[in-house]
Structure 1
Amino acid sequence: MPLKNDSFPVSRRDFIKSSSLALAGFTIVPRHVLGGKGFTAPSDKLNIAAIGAGGKGMVNITNSFNNGTDNIVALCDVDDRQAKAAREKWPQAKHYKDYRKLLQKREARGIDAVIVSTPDHMHAPIAMAAMQLGKHVYVEKPLAHDIYEVRMLTQAAKRYKVVTQMGNQGSSGDDTRLIETWVQQGLLGDVHTVHTWTNRPVWPQGIPTPTQKMPVPAEVDWDLWLGTAPYRDYHEAYMPFRWRGWWDFGTGALGDMGCHIMDVPFRALKLKYPESVECSVGSVYSDFFKEAHFLDSCPPSSAIYLHFPARDNMPAVDFSWTDGGILPKRPEELSPEEPFGDTDGGMLLVGTKGKLVAGMWGRNPMLLPSSRMKETTIPTAAMPLVPGGPDGHQQQWVQACKKGFGAYTSSPFEIAGPLTETVIMGNLAVRSYQYQEPTADGKGFINPGRKKLLWNGEDMKITNFEAANQFVKRNYRQGWHL
């Protein structure tokens, strides 16, 4: 049953509306009579558009499609090379390069939900445009590029009453729910210290900006790829994937992995906004004793220290993050042979009655010393498990979209928003640490942002270093808006 403009199959919302009108004067006919055994009514299928069709986008599309239980009706990517596999797999889907055309009211009538799997700097404007049309949204992590964008998306999800999910699939994992239960049932006592870490970046960071101008590949719309970011010439150093290490496009190792690893203790400890943040970053030297300042690129490694206030009946928490493969000191209760986290990263929670160590997404959580795992009555997860765990994250969102606003998802924006703000707060500290001002004599530079930054979370403002607030909200290139 195509729409009059033949753009997409009829949406669930339009189908239900038209069916209700048509059947108003008739007896309702059972579904099996209409379609036979195993028939899936159009009203039970979600019409999904995917913006960003390659890489992680392909995973998100495939898991949402779920072998045909739902419809992929539109695919959008600025790079035909990245979109090739998806277009071949779903040839019936309408193809776009510019998401703004896909999300025009007439074009978008048959769409129920939108998946956003673009580089970080385009998450917010795309997700906002979709929500303004009443479309449910699934947005890859981190939710957005800067704190202001995240706050606006969080508020918009509630205002437009849409189902949301951020792509930190570990939030649907069994181990995430276990750790949350163990912490909140007091197995560790009062948790006062958290360490988190990752081996990322596994892409170039702390490098100079390319000066060579390269020809734009014929398959790429470079201006659309830049989107909200300031104009620069094309170079292969930026795409695909390596954009993560450039501040104009990505959010570095912290933005890539923080929403996976920090999520577990963040929700277990019911955290929201930190009170302060400080950091240090790995140095790069361009010559003997000459430190290089590549301010366009994220640093090769960093250490972030956040402080959260007491809340409810929980004490204040000191929360650290390290990337570049730098780990905290191994706890004494962990034997020399026992693993400390896993290859991708890990977490250590320290409480008044014990410690807990786990890998990324809270994988393989273990009380310390490990003998406690046999000596202690370990409670099972208090929250219902998600079918498929992390692999079921996208499908959980799809099923929630069919139920409508208010249906449960593991990482709705009301939870994913404050988490992402905290993650990106670390990047604000890093960029303040890198920030330079000329000395009074004009012969050098100083770094006045190398201090503890005090944060007013409700007002989104650093209160003791005004220059840092430029990193709360970035300026979009002319012609782009949120």
Structure 2
Amino acid sequence: MKRRDFLTRAAIAGAAGPFVGGTVPSFAAAAQGRSPNEKVRFACIGVGGKGDSDTNDAGAHGEIVALCDVDARTLDKMGDKYPKAKKYYDYRKMLEELGDKIDAVTVSTPDHTHAPASVMAMRMGKHCFCQKPLTWSIEEARLMRTLAAEKNLCTQMGNQGTAADGFRQGVETVRSGAIGAVKEIHVWTNRPIWPQGIPRPKETPGVPNHIRWYEFLGAAPDQPYHPAYGAFNWRGWLDFGTGALGDMACHTINVAAMALELFDPESVEVVDTSGIVDHASYPAWSIIRTHFGARNGRPPLTMTWYDGGDKLPEGKKAFRELLYGQKLPDSGLLLVGEQGSFFSENDYGAEHTLLPGDRYKDFKEPDVKLPRSPGHFTEWVEAIKTGNPKKALSNFDYAGRLTETVLLGVVALKAGTKIEWDADAMKARNCPDADQYIRRNYRKGFSIH
């Protein structure tokens, strides 16, 4: 049986399987059958950081019945704003106790918890909004995409730039052939802007009273608490985050991915990097090249990713010479076509310029092909109310494939070798050892299997 077929069947079988504590949910249909006129009932998992705005978006679009966070201070602060919501430290307990009272979840946790929380909710028939990158591993992205389709759930990944009119106009422009066939893409970022490329801390301070460390670790390997893993800093650690790639690529390559179908690449290689430190912390800077074959009549192309910002050696910024003298932004995207180039000056593709400028001074935007969005979160809630999973443009069918492309670069970094990719089998043809980075082991009680 192909791996993809196995995961599909496993997702279906898992939907009827037991959860933590032996509870077998019997209310999956309830979330699907609510009237569009009724308020959507949300449970919000992770309510600090980006979870703050995601929770407030949920509160503006429906009723918040539960809040979950591993930081008691963060949880209490949000609880004061939504006093009718029941508070939890463990999303598993929350879903078991309140499953039939929840229609949808938001998951705004560190990357390593995205899939365990989302998969549990989705198997219970809950619609899901999950922050980017969709998952910590490629296997998780494949499973979440499969689950969403099999259970006909309305989903959305939190890459909010997808909702911008300028983003959708950019997709239409590239698809129109305005710059000709694209054979070369460069994308760069100022990330990491958190500590990264550093040794693992050796101190083992006590766990603060307001932190639930066991619940924070979730699926990750057991290890002592240290504040270096907290707040924004978890992104730089292999156990919890996905580094600069995971943080930004779902934004910065998004317009190119949607316009040019940048999925299931043939191979990924690390061109250069400062290196992973202590088998624990992502590099201070990296250059990663992904090779795509022909796709529905489009020619093969390469996409080169540069992270590290000011830490990236100046001589390695090859994209600078392709900008026709344009000012170099901290982050950007450049699509080099046979007739011209598409240059995005921000992280989302919404602001863009066609180069060289004199060639495109009379350029007229192509006809509107993509629906314009009422707002990223609103789009998802409207999908739930109308029962149309495709209404949210960054649904898990698309977002899962985008996340797989992004995380292949992370696999290449960890494996330290070029990855020849077999998408159907979800395997590196040339590197069996890479399997440990394509999927993961889970601590007891937090598995997606």
TM-score of the superposed pair, with normalisation by structure 2: 0.88
Deviation of the 1:164 alpha carbon: 0.5
Kindly indicate whether residue 285 of structure 2 is the aligned counterpart of residue 317 of structure 1.
no
Partner of 1:82: 74
Higher share of residues assigned helix: 2
Deviation of the 1:478 alpha carbon: 2.5
Amino acid at match of 2:235: R
Kindly indicate whether residue 51 of structure 2 is the aligned counterpart of residue 57 of structure 1.
yes
Q: How does 1:285-300 map to 2 (within 5 A)?
A: 293-300=277-284
What is the CA–CA distance in structure 2 between the aligned matches of 1:264 and 1:313, rounded to whole Å? 19
Instruction: Tell whether the 8 Å contact from 2:269 to 2:419 is kept in structure 1 after alignment.
Output: yes
Number of equivalences: 415
Deviation of the 1:47 alpha carbon: 0.6
Instruction: Tell whether the 8 Å contact from 2:134 to 2:157 is kept in structure 1 after alignment.
Output: yes
Instruction: Tell whether the 8 Å contact from 1:55 to 1:82 is kept in structure 2 after alignment.
Output: no
Partner of 2:111: 120
Which deviates more, 392-401 or 321-330? 321-330
Instruction: Tell whether the 8 Å contact from 1:197 to 1:323 is kept in structure 2 after alignment.
Output: yes
Partner of 1:230: 221
Partner of 2:356: 369
Deviation of the 1:174 alpha carbon: 1.5
Deviations 1:30-67 (A, max 9, x none): xxxxxxxxxxxx9431111100011100111112322x
Amino acid at match of 1:339: K
What is the CA–CA distance in structure 2 between the aligned matches of 1:12 and 1:91, rounded to whole Å? 27
What is the CA–CA distance in structure 2 between the aligned matches of 1:265 and 1:160, rounded to whole Å? 29
Partner of 1:27: none
Partner of 1:201: 192
What is the CA–CA distance in structure 1 between the aligned matches of 2:370 and 2:34, rounded to whole Å? 38
What is the CA–CA distance in structure 1 between the aligned matches of 2:82 and 2:237, rounded to whole Å? 32
Q: How does 1:318-333 map to 2 (within 5 A)?
A: 318-325=302-309, 326=312, 327-332=317-322
What is the CA–CA distance in structure 2 between the aligned matches of 1:250 and 1:203, rounded to whole Å? 12
Instruction: Tell whether the 8 Å contact from 1:401 to 1:407 is kept in structure 2 after alignment.
Output: no
State which of 378, 386, 395 in structure 1 corresponds to 2:378.
395
Deviations 1:55-111 (A, max 9, x none): 100111112322xx411111000111222331121111111111011111x521111
Which is higher, the Rg of structure 1 or of structure 2?
1
What is the CA–CA distance in structure 2 between the aligned matches of 1:415 and 1:122, rounded to whole Å? 20
What is the CA–CA distance in structure 2 between the aligned matches of 1:16 and 1:149, rounded to whole Å? 23
Percent identity over the alignment is 43
Give the root-mean-square deviation of aligned CA atoms. Answer: 2.1
What is the CA–CA distance in structure 1 between the aligned matches of 2:277 and 2:188, rounded to whole Å? 24
Deviation of the 1:271 alpha carbon: 2.3
Partner of 1:461: 427
What is the CA–CA distance in structure 1 between the aligned matches of 2:70 and 2:166, rounded to whole Å? 37
Deviation of the 1:380 alpha carbon: 4.9
Instruction: Tell whether the 8 Å contact from 2:382 to 2:391 is kept in structure 1 after alignment.
Output: no
Aligned in 2, Cα 1:349/1:279: closer, same or farther, shift over 3 Å? same
Instruction: Tell whether the 8 Å contact from 1:172 to 1:385 is kept in structure 2 after alignment.
Output: yes
Kindly indicate whether residue 369 of structure 2 is the aligned counterpart of residue 382 of structure 1.
yes
Instruction: Tell whether the 8 Å contact from 1:281 to 1:299 is kept in structure 2 after alignment.
Output: no
What is the CA–CA distance in structure 2 between the aligned matches of 1:12 and 1:402, rounded to whole Å? 16
Deviation of the 1:381 alpha carbon: 3.8
Partner of 1:168: 159
Amino acid at match of 1:59: S
Deviation of the 1:169 alpha carbon: 0.7
Q: Secondary structure at the match of 1:366?
A: strand
State which of 64, 73, 77 in structure 1 corresponds to 2:65.
73
Deviation of the 1:370 alpha carbon: 1.8
Partner of 2:4: none
TM-score of the superposed pair, with normalisation by structure 1: 0.82
Aligned in 2, Cα 1:149/1:350: closer, same or farther, shift over 3 Å? same
Deviations 1:196-224 (A, max 9, x none): 11100000111111111111110111111
Kindly indicate whether residue 418 of structure 2 is the aligned counterpart of residue 424 of structure 1.
no
Instruction: Tell whether the 8 Å contact from 2:262 to 2:405 is kept in structure 1 after alignment.
Output: no
Amino acid at match of 1:154: R
Partner of 1:346: 332
Could you list the runs of 4 or more consecutive aligned residues of structure 1 that deviate by over 3 angstroms after TM superposition? Answer: 11-19
Q: Secondary structure at the match of 1:228?
A: coil
What is the CA–CA distance in structure 1 between the aligned matches of 2:232 and 2:241, rounded to whole Å? 9
What is the CA–CA distance in structure 1 between the aligned matches of 2:415 and 2:159, rounded to whole Å? 27
Deviation of the 1:315 alpha carbon: 0.4
